[in-house]
C-alpha cells in the first residue's frame, strides 16, 4: 500500500491521476471536488421539489449528504444536515397545509362573518344612539322648564285678566251708582232750578222804577191840584 495512503491526492496534485490512467497511485475513494459539486447540485435539484414531497421522503438527500459529508465545511454541514431529515417535519407540515387549505376554503365564511360584524357594529352604534338619551333628557328638562315658565306666565296673565275684569265690573257698578246719584242730583237740581225766578234784576228794577215814577207823578199831580 502506498506510503501516502489516506491523503486526498486531488488536493496535492495539480491534475487528476485518473485522467492519465495511473495504476501506481491509489486515489482516495472519497468524492472529488467536481463530484462534490455535482452531488451538491443533485441535492439542490432534489430540494427543489415541493416541501410536501420532501417531508414524505428525503432519503436521497440524506444519502448524498452522508457520502460527501467529510468533504464539506462544517458550517455547510450544519446548514445541509436538517435537509436530510425533513420527514421530521412531516406531521407539522401536513397540519400546517391542512390549516392553510381550510382557511382558504373558509374565505366565503370569513367574508360572511366580516359582513355580519359590520352589520352588528352599525346596529350597536344605533343602539348606543338610542340608549344615550342624555341629550334628549336635557332637551326635555329644558322644555319642561320652558313649559313651567309659560304656565307661570299664563297664571300671571290670567290673574291680570281676572283683576282687570274685577276692576271693570267694579268700575261699572261704581259708574252705575254714580250715574244714579248724578241723575238724582240732576233731578233735585232741576226742581231747585225751577224755583229760580227767571229774568234779570235790571229788568225788574226798571219795571219797579217805571211804576214808582207813575205813582210819584200821580202824587205830584195831586199835590199840584191841591195847591
pLDDT tens digits, 5-46: 444 555 555 555 555 444 333 444 444 556 888 999 999 999
Is pLDDT above 70 for 69?
A: yes
With a CB cutoff of 8 Å and minimum separation 6, the contacts of 72 are 36, 80
Is pLDDT above 60 for 61?
A: yes
Give the mean model confidence (pLDDT) for residues 196-218. Answer: 80
Estimate to the nearest angstrom the gap between the alpha carbon of 88 and the chain centroid: 55
**What confidence score (pLDDT) does residue 12 get?**
58
Q: Where are the domains of the chain?
A: 9-105, 148-196, 201-227
- pLDDT category of residue 2 using cuts at 50, 70 and 90: very low
**What confidence score (pLDDT) does residue 218 get?**
78
**What confidence score (pLDDT) does residue 18 get?**
54
**What confidence score (pLDDT) does residue 16 get?**
56
Per-residue pLDDT tens digits for 98-123 = 999 898 998 898 888 889 989 889 98
Question: CA–CA separation, 85 vs 58, rounded Å?
Answer: 7
Per-residue pLDDT tens digits for 144-203 = 999 999 899 999 999 999 998 999 988 888 888 888 888 888 888 888 888 887 788 787
Share in percent of the chain as helix, strand, coil (round to 5): 80, 0, 20
Give the mean model confidence (pLDDT) for residues 198-217. Answer: 81
CA dihedral 8, 13, 14, 19 (to 10 degrees): -80
C-alpha cell at 97: 397545509
**What confidence score (pLDDT) does residue 95 get?**
92
Estimate to the nearest angstrom the gap between the alpha carbon of 205 and the chain centroid: 111
Amino acid at each position: 500500500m502506498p506510503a501516502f495512503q489516506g491523503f486526498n491526492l486531488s488536493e496535492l496534485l495539480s491534475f487528476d491521476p485518473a485522467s492519465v490512467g495511473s495504476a501506481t497511485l491509489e486515489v482516495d475513494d472519497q468524492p472529488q471536488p467536481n463530484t462534490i459539486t455535482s452531488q451538491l447540485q443533485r441535492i439542490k435539484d432534489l430540494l427543489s421539489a415541493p416541501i410536501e414531497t420532501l417531508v414524505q421522503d428525503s432519503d436521497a438527500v440524506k444519502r448524498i449528504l452522508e457520502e460527501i459529508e467529510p468533504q464539506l465545511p462544517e458550517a455547510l454541514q450544519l446548514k445541509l444536515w436538517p435537509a436530510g431529515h425533513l420527514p421530521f417535519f412531516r406531521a407539522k407540515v401536513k397540519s400546517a397545509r391542512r390549516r392553510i387549505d381550510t382557511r382558504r376554503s373558509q374565505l366565503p365564511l370569513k367574508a360572511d362573518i366580516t359582513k355580519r360584524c359590520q352589520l352588528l357594529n352599525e346596529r350597536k352604534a344605533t343602539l348606543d344612539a338610542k340608549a344615550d338619551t342624555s341629550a334628549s333628557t336635557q332637551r326635555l328638562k329644558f322644555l319642561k322648564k320652558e313649559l313651567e315658565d309659560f304656565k307661570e306666565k299664563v297664571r300671571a296673565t290670567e290673574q291680570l285678566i281676572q283683576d282687570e275684569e274685577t276692576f271693570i265690573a267694579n268700575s261699572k257698578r261704581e259708574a252705575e251708582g254714580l250715574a244714579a246719584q248724578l241723575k238724582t242730583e240732576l233731578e233735585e237740581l232741576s226742581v231747585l232750578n225751577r224755583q229760580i225766578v227767571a229774568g234779570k234784576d235790571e229788568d225788574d228794577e226798571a219795571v219797579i222804577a217805571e211804576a214808582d215814577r207813575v205813582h210819584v207823578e200821580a202824587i205830584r199831580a195831586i199835590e199840584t191840584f191841591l195847591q
